[in-house]
Amino acid sequence: MQDLASVDWSRAQFALTAIYHFLFVPLTLGLSFIIAFMETIYVKTGNPEWKKITKFWLRLFAINFAIGVATGIIMEFEFGTNWANYSWFVGDIFGAPLAIEGIFAFFLEATFFAVLFFGWDRVSKGFHLFSTWMVAIGSNLSALWILVANGWMQFPVGTTFNDDTLRNEMTNFFEVALSPVGISKFLHTVSGGYVTSALFVLGISAYFMLKNKHFQLAKKSFIVAASFGLLSSLFVLFSGDESAYQVAQKQPMKLAAMEGLYKGEVNAGVVAMGILDHSKKIGDNKDPFILKIEAPYILGVMATRGLNNFTPGIDDLVFGNEKFNIPSAQSRIDSGKIAIKALENIKIAKEENNTQKVKELREVLQENMHNFGYGYLDKPEDIVPPVGLTFYSFHTMVALGTYFIILFFVTLFLSMANSIEDFRKILWLCVFSIPLGYIASEAGWIVAEVGRQPWAIQDLMPVGIAATDLASINVKISFSLFAVLFTALLIAEIKIMLKQIKLGF
């Protein structure tokens, strides 16, 4: 296990990079499609107002795109600098989707981005529109391959461990690419990005309408954003349900933390709202909530797709539950230590040219390989993620998601009734809702990543083993530099965007 201070600083640095990067990504994902819809209307109708509208939002998209790329590249470098053991252990698998993302998706969007931004009046309308759609599709394909890679970390499939190289190797590309966890993560993440983008366009359009500037152009943008946002937010609801089901099946500890569920239940209810009691300890009989509002049956149905089924809680997963055939964490730790010991002995047997011994030890390793990562943990409680942060992040995301559906429905209805400008409080609400999309997106990532601790790769590699053996002072310095750099980039983006917004359509 590496120096804990160094590991924690590496975690903090990656979290910092990811949080800043995902301030830019959602807008790129959704605004690219919104621009494509607007330009399609322009090409279909020939109305020059739609060209003005498209060009205005394109300027904001370009600013965001450029800064988002810079933070994304740094994230990929950190796998090598801060997570070298992880990169060695699974680089053959994890690298494949990232390589596809770089070679195909990023090149696709980068190539057509030049035509999109500089090609007005230089190429035909049809080819320019084609380029716009290619940028939108390329941006989302980039997200697909990155989230396939992330999905594999949450649910490693399609691989086998090679004890000669001490690396995991891909045995089935399609199992990795079509993993249900990766696909559901992609659909939920990109649709969440569409909602953030729709809120961005809705809020800025509402501001212009409130100030009675570029009123007709702003109102057209407002209607597109409200329509796109309503469809996207409804899809987020659907994809979120599927994501929760996948979490329940593949990462039950994360689901238990999301709901603050310590003792498993048949037909468990979902906590609509609650305040956790932070004095609650694993294994005691104290109520985990100071207060809560619960909707009965829903968590059980969401987690198992049926009635009268058991949803395990934190205590069941830590101490085991014989009635429902759930092994204890200690038994998995013991199994993991057997796997690690077998691997060490394989190396010795190879040096002694004892092929029969190698064969027997490989069988032991394979029997216990699914618990390999547990062998590096000290005690059963180590498998529990930070419950409070996971719980509150999840419920913040869900509450905001519900609010977005209502907001988009109301604004679209009033827009279609041609009277949205008479509801100035609702327009101001749209303006102040712009940051809420970002908060929901970041909360979702906190649930996904904090909720799966202590794992870098679920059940196979804890974070402490994945990190590079660096002196903590080095990581502190790079953390501080990145914090200053990313903050400067964010301030620069906001200032440039505000300047462009001030110039108007």
* Higher local confidence (pLDDT), 69 or 324: 324
Q: What is the pTM of this model?
A: 0.94
In the numeric block, which tokens belong to residue 6? 């160094």
pLDDT in tens, 341-385: 999 999 999 999 999 999 999 999 999 999 999 999 999 999 999
Q: Is residue 323 part of a domain?
A: no
List Cβ<8 Å contacts ≥24 apart for 18-23: 18/75, 18/445, 18/449, 19/442, 19/445, 20/71, 20/486, 20/489, 20/490, 21/68, 21/71, 21/72, 21/74, 21/75, 22/441, 22/442, 22/445, 23/438, 23/442, 23/490
Helix, strand or coil for residue 419?
coil
Reply yes or no on whether the pLDDT at 56 is more than 80: yes
Residue 289 belongs to domain spanning = 257-314
Asked if residue 345 and residue 274 are part of one domain, the reply reads no
Supply the DSSP symbol for 179. Answer: -
**Residue 487: pLDDT band by 50, 70, 90 thresholds?**
very high
Q: Which of 24-38, 83-97, 153-167, 213-227 has the lowest mean pLDDT?
A: 83-97
Asked if residue 425 and residue 393 are part of one domain, the reply reads yes
Q: Is residue 70 part of a domain?
A: yes
* Higher local confidence (pLDDT), 468 or 40: 40
Say what the pLDDT of residue 1 is: 53
Asked if residue 270 and residue 187 are part of one domain, the reply reads no
Q: What span, in angstroms and rounded, lies between the C-alpha atoms of 115 and 130?
A: 10
pLDDT in tens, 106-140: 788 888 988 998 999 899 999 999 999 999 999 99
CA 266 to chain centre: 30
Half-sphere exposure of 420 (CA within 13 A, CB side): 32
pLDDT in tens, 224-262: 999 999 999 999 999 999 999 999 999 999 999 999 999
Helix, strand or coil for residue 275?
strand
Asked if residue 372 and residue 244 are part of one domain, the reply reads no
Q: What span, in angstroms and rounded, lies between the C-alpha atoms of 153 and 182?
A: 9
Q: Is residue 322 part of a domain?
A: no
**Total structural domains within the chain:** 3
Say what the pLDDT of residue 105 is: 78
The secondary element (H helix, E strand) that includes residue 342 is helix 329-351
| Residues 6 or more apart in contact with residue 257 via CB below 8 angstroms | 314, 384, 385, 386, 387, 390, 391, 451
Q: What span, in angstroms and rounded, lies between the C-alpha atoms of 466 and 168?
A: 14
Q: What span, in angstroms and rounded, lies between the C-alpha atoms of 165 and 157?
A: 19
Q: Is residue 112 part of a domain?
A: yes
- Mean pLDDT computed over every residue of the chain: 93
Say what the pLDDT of residue 4 is: 66
In the numeric block, which tokens belong to residue 253? 């500890």
pLDDT in tens, 60-110: 999 898 877 777 788 888 888 999 999 988 888 888 888 888 787 778 888
Cα-based distances in Å from 165 to 87, 90, 169, 237: 13, 11, 10, 43
Cα-based distances in Å from 176 to 84, 96, 159, 340: 22, 10, 8, 25
Asked if residue 404 and residue 354 are part of one domain, the reply reads no
* Higher local confidence (pLDDT), 269 or 418: 269
Cα angle, residue 24 at apex, residues 19 and 29 outer, rounded to 5°: 120
Q: Is residue 113 part of a domain?
A: yes
Asked if residue 301 and residue 185 are part of one domain, the reply reads no
Asked if residue 195 and residue 238 are part of one domain, the reply reads yes
Q: What span, in angstroms and rounded, lies between the C-alpha atoms of 134 and 109?
A: 6
* Higher local confidence (pLDDT), 4 or 461: 461
What is the bridge-based pairing of β-strands 455-457 and 167-170?
A: unpaired
Say what the pLDDT of residue 3 is: 64
Reply yes or no on whether the pLDDT at 48 is more than 90: yes
Rounded to the nearest 10 degrees, the angle between the axes of helix 125-154 and helix 4-45 is 150
- Rounded mean pLDDT of 163-175? 92
Q: Is residue 489 part of a domain?
A: yes
Say what the pLDDT of residue 389 is: 97
CA 289 to chain centre: 27
Cβ neighbour number for residue 128 with a 10 Å cutoff? 20
Q: Is residue 400 part of a domain?
A: yes
Reply yes or no on whether the pLDDT at 33 is more than 90: yes
The secondary element (H helix, E strand) that includes residue 161 is strand 159-162
Nearest to residue 501, comparing CAs of 273, 65, 200, 108? 200
Say what the pLDDT of residue 100 is: 86
What is the bridge-based pairing of β-strands 159-162 and 270-276?
A: unpaired
Cβ neighbour number for residue 3 with a 10 Å cutoff? 16
- Rounded mean pLDDT of 276-292? 95
Q: Specify which residues 159 forms β-bridges with.
A: 170
Asked if residue 393 and residue 488 are part of one domain, the reply reads yes
Residue ranges of the alpha helices (H) in 159-313? Answer: 173-177, 180-210, 215-250, 252-259, 298-304
Asked if residue 292 and residue 171 are part of one domain, the reply reads no
Beta strand extents in 288-412 (DSSP E only): 289-295, 310-311
Asked if residue 431 and residue 307 are part of one domain, the reply reads no
Taking the alpha carbons of 440, 312, 289, 15 in that order, is the dihedral positive or negative? negative
* Higher local confidence (pLDDT), 454 or 66: 454
Q: Is residue 18 part of a domain?
A: yes
Cα angle, residue 139 at apex, residues 134 and 142 outer, rounded to 5°: 120
Asked if residue 186 and residue 216 are part of one domain, the reply reads yes
Asked if residue 356 and residue 207 are part of one domain, the reply reads no
| φ, ψ at 337 (rounded to 5°) | -65, -35
